[in-house]
Copies of this chain bind each other. A is one copy, B any other.
């Protein structure tokens, strides 16, 4: 059977740019992309966070986080969301809701509602002993791609909303395939332009800081679910893969700026009661897709992840991996930090 293209049929168009590999390319193993309905034109992916440090403020953080979670239930709230946590390099606990909409209008209605807009705008948020942030990004479907190791569920990320998976895809198994999966790559190099700009506040001073992004800023959420692994596969995950992945995630967290990574969070899913689940993801923002490519292809921290994985690839059956990658128009990005320490999110990068 011929391979499917990761680029959905309705987004294929005459090309001025070719894929990296020739048409005779045969991927060495199958992979899949989430298949979106043609009626979906743009997504909204919002990362809402509560930041705190120490036992004493944990209760406050949980209460604040619950406020955010409650707001998801309001009219036009997200179609789905994940709850995750991440302890950053400064030792702060970051509780994060990752919320997704397939309808930007619905997000706009929700985001502009007095309950949501008013709550975030209130000066009360400056005086609750915890930090807050929201990072809201809206890729057009031409600017979005996914890859999955399995074509059965449960899927992850925004793809759960799509409800369908492609046949085995052509564009994977080679460096550059991430770019080739993005429909916009048919005619665009996705070069970055502009730069991160503080539009309100002072990152070093705390308080409320709003940052505007730039053309073709790039996000990757790259995740793994080891909940179904057993025996040798499970041992390999815990002893051989995860420690190396962790090192790579820490490099990006601490030294990512030198390779064009603005921020990286190595998150673990938690359930409604805060209990860790056996799945997680790294989510990072980059100056450009090219920077993300270059790190992935050449930096020892990532290559070691890749080599370790490739060495063990035959052991994997139930470990599921996926990623979602987006590039964004400058106008489709919003970053706000309230009472956060100056190494939070994009604050460290401006």
Q: Which chain A residues have a beta carbon within 8 Å of chain B's beta carbons?
A: 17-18, 20-22, 24-25, 28, 173-176, 189, 191, 290, 293-294, 297-300, 303-304, 306-307, 310-311
Please tell me if the beta carbons of A310 and B306 are within 8 angstroms of each other in the complex: no
Q: How far is the CA of A21 from the CA of B17 in the complex (A)?
A: 12
Say whether, besides A20-B20, A22-B189, A174 and B307 are in contact (CB < 8 Å). Answer: no
Chain B residues closer than 8 Å to A176, beta-carbon distance: 20, 175-176
Known A17-B18, A18-B18, A20-B176; 14 more pairs at CB < 8 Å: A20-B20, A21-B290, A22-B191, A24-B290, A28-B298, A173-B298, A174-B294, A174-B297, A174-B298, A175-B176, A299-B310, A303-B303, A303-B307, A304-B307
| CB of A271 to closest CB in B, whole Å | 36
Q: Which residue of B lies closest to A16 (CB)?
A: B18
Chain B residues closer than 8 Å to A174, beta-carbon distance: 293-294, 297-298
Which of B297, B298, B311 is the one whose CB lies under 8 Å from A300?
B311
Chain B residues closer than 8 Å to A175, beta-carbon distance: 175-176, 297
Q: How far is the CA of A28 from the CA of B24 in the complex (A)?
A: 32
Indicate how many identical chains form the complex: 2
Q: Is the interface of A mostly helix, strand, loop or mixed?
A: loop
Please tell me if the beta carbons of A303 and B306 are within 8 angstroms of each other in the complex: yes
| CB of A251 to closest CB in B, whole Å | 12
Please tell me if the beta carbons of A300 and B290 are within 8 angstroms of each other in the complex: no
Chain B residues closer than 8 Å to A306, beta-carbon distance: 303
| CB of A291 to closest CB in B, whole Å | 11
Say whether, besides A17-B18, A18-B17, A307 and B300 are in contact (CB < 8 Å). Answer: yes
Q: Which residue of B lies closest to A294 (CB)?
A: B174
| CB of A101 to closest CB in B, whole Å | 32
Chain B residues closer than 8 Å to A28, beta-carbon distance: 298
Q: How far is the CA of A303 from the CA of B28 in the complex (A)?
A: 16
| CB of A23 to closest CB in B, whole Å | 9
Q: Which residue of B lies closest to A302 (CB)?
A: B307
Chain B residues closer than 8 Å to A25, beta-carbon distance: 290
Chain B residues closer than 8 Å to A173, beta-carbon distance: 298
Q: How far is the CA of A258 from the CA of B191 in the complex (A)?
A: 37
| CB of A281 to closest CB in B, whole Å | 23
| CB of A100 to closest CB in B, whole Å | 30
| CB of A69 to closest CB in B, whole Å | 42
Q: How far is the CA of A290 from the CA of B25 in the complex (A)?
A: 9
Q: How far is the CA of A227 from the CA of B54 in the complex (A)?
A: 57
| CB of A308 to closest CB in B, whole Å | 9
Q: How far is the CA of A176 from the CA of B290 in the complex (A)?
A: 14
Q: How far is the CA of A312 from the CA of B310 in the complex (A)?
A: 22
Listed by A's residue number, 11 A-B pairs whose Cβ atoms lie within 8 Å are: A22-B290, A24-B290, A28-B298, A174-B293, A174-B294, A174-B298, A297-B297, A300-B311, A303-B303, A303-B306, A304-B307
Q: How far is the CA of A191 from the CA of B191 in the complex (A)?
A: 29
